[in-house]
Amino acid sequence: MQLNILKKGVADTLQDAGRYGFQHIGIPPCGYMDYLSAQLANIILGNPLEQVVFEIHFPASIFSFNEAVCICITGANFVPVVNEKSVELNTPIFIEANETLQFLQPIQGKICYLAVKGKIECNSWLKSQSYFLERIQTGMYFSVEKNNSSLPTIHHEWLQRIYKHIFQPSPIRFIPGPAWNDLDPASIQILLKKTFSTSLKSNRMGYAIQGEKLALLKPPTYLSSAVTKGTMQLLPSGEIMVLMADHQTIGGYANIGQIILLDLPKLAQLKNDTPFYWNIVSAEIAQQSYIEVQNEFHQYDKNH
């Protein structure tokens, strides 16, 4: 079957778990911004956990399908409608031949995922199908190799728990980075006690954080060094820039902390100007809680 892009969105892409093994030549990892929602869409359809999905921002692309197919929409609620009838998130949706999917308004979250039951055919570059610098364009079409396996049973309570990891308001947790001790003590107090929010200047490369300005004890003279998804860079302006999926591989700004993997989806989905708090967490807790949640996903993946 074939999936067509009737009209392109503002920044839609195809993403998988990312492109690793090439950061030493400067190639960003890319991949899902909110991996929990992307994995959820695949699990609900019985697809492999880290299959390629459409990552959709608002205003979103308009999709049409030339044959009956089963899809799933997760992540942000952009009010999806199929032939003008609203459809639910986080559940399989049965599309008829020649129906059209569009998204009307951004009610909750920032990034939405569209998975198709089966496999979306698209090019792979350096072992990944994640787009880098490219965008979904009007008139593009993608072949889908459908599969008719039965759909797995997803426990509602588990779905709710995963949903909370992504959308329940709570502090964004981080582990202090190499330049943490170079922060002015007053700035540390501000960071740990005041609210911050993401700003308009946020995209797949990085999220610009607004809030009270922070300062270093002395002028920065760091040599460039590798950064990761979730690195909190303190810019000369005193603002924090959190590096996201398409981040450059090394950076020379003060690296004051790294957001933990489990909380990255939450930050990715935070709407601009929504206040949040920061919280320090230990690496052990961060690693254990991430592994626990991922093991639950793998359980569904295996059982099916």
Partner 1 sequence: MVQHQHNTEWKVKLLGDHAIQFCLPEKIDPFIVEQIQHLNQYIMAQNLLFFKDCIPSYHTLTVIFDLNKLGKMTWKGTPYPIPLQLGQSLLKEFLADTNEVKKKETHQQVIQIPVCYDISLGSDLAIVAKENNIGIEDIIQKHCQPIYQVYCIGFLPGFAYMGKVDKAIQSPRHATPRPLVMAGSVGIAGAQTGIYPMNSPGGWKIIGRTPKTIFNKEMAPYAKFKMGDQVQFFPISLKEFTKQNEYAIEHT
Regarding 158 and contact with partner 1 (CB under 8 A), the answer is no
**Binding mask of the shown chain, residues 125 to 144, with x at each position contacting partner 1 by CB under 8 A:** xx------------------
**Alpha-helical regions (H) of the chain:** 35-45, 156-167, 185-193, 264-269, 283-303
Short-list 2, 108, 117, CA closest to 48? 117
Residue 104, judged by CB atoms within 10 A of its CB (0-12, 13-18, 19+), counts as middle
**Binding mask of the shown chain, residues 168 to 187, with x at each position contacting partner 1 by CB under 8 A:** ------xx-xx---------
Q: How does DSSP classify residue 249?
A: S
Among 249, 272, 277, 296, binds partner 1 (CB under 8 A): 249
Kindly identify the residues of this chain, within the stretch 269-298, that bind partner 1 according to CB under 8 A.
283, 286-287, 290-291, 294-295, 298
Do 101 and 86 meet the contact criterion of CB atoms below 8 Å apart? no
Q: Which one, 127 or 146, has the nearer CB to partner 1?
A: 127
Q: Which one, 18 or 75, has the nearer CB to partner 1?
A: 18
Query: Which SS3 state, helix, strand or coil, does residue 88 take?
Result: coil
Give the nearest distance from C-beta 187 to partner 1 in angstroms.
Answer: 20
Kindly identify the residues of this chain, within the stretch 191-230, that bind partner 1 according to CB under 8 A.
222-226, 228, 230
In angstroms, the Cα distances linking 272 to 106, 174, 198, 229, 267 are 12, 20, 5, 19, 10
> What is the total count of residues that contact partner 1 (CB under 8 A)?
41
Give the nearest distance from C-beta 213 to partner 1 in angstroms.
Answer: 19
Give the span between the Cα atoms of 37 and 14, in whole angstroms.
Answer: 14
Regarding 24 and contact with partner 1 (CB under 8 A), the answer is yes
**Which residue matches tokens 């929990």?**
36
Q: Which residues bind partner 1 (CB under 8 A)?
A: 20-29, 125-126, 174-175, 177-178, 222-226, 228, 230-231, 248-251, 257-261, 283, 286-287, 290-291, 294-295, 298
